[in-house]
Amino acid sequence: MSSNVVVAVDGTSGSGKSSTCRGVASRVGLRYLDTGAQFRAMTWFMLEQGVDVNDAEAVAARCAEPSIESGTDPLAPTIAVDGVDVSGPIRSAEVTAAVSPVSTVPQVRQRLLELQRSIIGEGGIVVEGRDIGSVVWPQAEVKVYLSADAAARARRRIAEHAHLGDVNTAEAGLLERDRIDSGRATAPLTMADGAVHIDTTHRTLDEVIDLVAGLVADADAVAEDHVAEDRA
């Protein structure tokens, strides 16, 4: 039986969310949605259009314009803006530097919230972000909060993207994004009620995937019990 659960995975930048979520989704047979990629796609659009990303009113005025399409295959997730594949450009240093201010704009969050809820739909999906368990889908059957020490996160980022420079610069960038993500007024990064906190600092990716896949199996067992009780 394939799972219909929604798995909400929130946490700081570089805590291993993407690798964990893709690993869990492909192992358990669920779809995968990277909401950070949607915020990055919106940011890419603003930069392309020459909008000042620090001008919240200007960003709000344009945020209904782009069509943002997310492909949810965990083995080959895609993201496109108005039909253009932006999976490469959304990882650029320019977009990474601009994404936190764009993400603080309430109209941007509302637009993407609607998109995220429509994709989650009937469930059967692992969703990663900052506010999934708290705002986007508080009714998620499984909620996970991933964290890791800043130094460990910086080392992972450098290992993945050597061009990002040295570990100290990467760590400073991550801490600055944490500060903006956690401090914004609308839907800040927070540990949702009922979330299981996993510190990934001293765990391998496989260990974290095992833990989360175990939570999904538990949630499926509860769902099957309910079905059996309803039949009895």
The end-to-end CA distance of the chain, in Å, is 20
To ligand DC, the closest distance from the beta carbon of 224 in angstroms equals 30
**CA 12: distance to chain centroid?**
10
Burial 40-68 (b: 16+ CB within 10 A, else e): bbbbbbbbeeebebeebebbeebbeebeb
Cα distances (angstroms) measured from residue 183 to each of 77, 120, 180: 29, 26, 5
Distance between CA atoms of residues 109 and 105, nearest Å: 7
- Per-residue string for binding with ligand DC, 167-196, x by CB under 6 A? ----------x---x---------------
Distance between CA atoms of residues 115 and 22, nearest Å: 20
- Per-residue string for binding with ligand DC, 78-117, x by CB under 6 A? ---------------------xx--x--------------
- Only one of the segments 35-43, 76-84, 154-162, 194-202 lies at the binding site for ligand DC (rule: CB under 6 A); that segment is 35-43
Does residue 20 touch ligand DC according to CB under 6 A? no
Does residue 13 touch ligand DC according to CB under 6 A? yes
- Only one of the segments 21-29, 32-40, 60-68, 223-231 lies at the binding site for ligand DC (rule: CB under 6 A); that segment is 32-40
Does residue 137 touch ligand DC according to CB under 6 A? no
